[in-house]
Amino acid sequence: MSDGSGARIRVRGMEADDWRDAHDIWTPPDVVWGTLQVPYRSADDNRKKIENPPEGMVRLVAEIDGRVVGSAGLHPSGPPRMRHVARCGLMVHPDTWNQGVGSALVEAIVDLADNWLHIRRIELTVYTDNTPAIHLCEKFGFEIEGTLRAYAFRDGEYVDTYMMARVRVACPAPEAV
């Protein structure tokens, strides 16, 4: 699905120069609806956010035919005994929903976590009425672990959120030599 194979969708690391595309992805009302973003966030605030990532944060973007249309983040941020845990976030421009961009990003996040960063548990929160996002996460092995009631305020009302996580089965032991 990615990287020079002739496929339409390419996933790569986010560059500082991607800030304007990221702003365009993060600010449409339909995207704000599914996230904890606040409407009217300025392009300047989003540029600063991208230029100053939290320690350990990995950010990816997805391109369709060279246009940046999606972004994802993986953030291992817990105390020492939670170094196997990372939070994940995901946004795709509404122009390109249902074309596999979100799937390409989650696939890359899971690959990074499993095969490169030794993250065992990837977790995220998703509003209980965000059916496309729930479906997408379940497709990649995330499970609903519980409901966080009145977790966020959205468009004038409190909304419930699922805590979802994908817990990787333990790595196979290396074969004895």
53 touches ligand COA (CB under 6 A): no
Q: Is 79 in contact with 66 (CB distance < 8 Å)?
A: no
Tokens 């993060």 belong to 26
For the chain, the maximum distance between any two Cα atoms, rounded to a whole number of angstroms, is 62
Determine the interface stretch with ligand COA among 10-18, 44-52, 131-139, 154-162 (rule: CB under 6 A): 131-139
Listed ranges 9-17, 53-61, 89-97, 140-148: which one lies at the site for ligand COA (CB under 6 A): 89-97
Q: Contacting ligand COA (CB under 6 A), which of 23, 133, 142, 165?
A: 133
Phi, psi values for residue 93, rounded to 5°: -65, 130
Options 87, 97, 114, 144; binder of ligand COA; rule CB under 6 A: 97
Among 103, 117, 142, 162, binds ligand COA (CB under 6 A): 103
Q: What's the one-letter identity of residue 161?
A: T
90 vs 37: CA distance, rounded Å: 12
How many whole angstroms separate alpha carbon 93 and alpha carbon 101?
Answer: 9
**Binding span for ligand COA by CB under 6 A among 8-16, 41-49, 99-107, 113-121:** 99-107
What residue number has its CB nearest to ligand COA?
A: 34
Out of 42, 77, 98, 115, which residue is the one contacting ligand COA (CB under 6 A)? 98
Interacting span for ligand COA (CB under 6 A) from 15-23, 50-58, 87-95, 110-118? 87-95
* Distances, alpha carbon 164 to alpha carbons 63, 124, 138, 140, in Å: 26, 5, 9, 11
Q: Are strands 157-167 and 121-127 parallel, antiparallel or unpaired?
A: antiparallel
Q: Is 67 in the site for ligand COA (CB under 6 A)?
A: no
Transcribe 125-146 into DSSP letters.
EEETT-HHHHHHHHHTT-EEEE
Residues of span 5-34 touching ligand COA by CB under 6 A: 31, 34
- By the criterion CB under 6 A, which residues form the site for ligand COA? 31, 34-35, 90-92, 97-103, 124, 126, 130-133, 135-136, 139
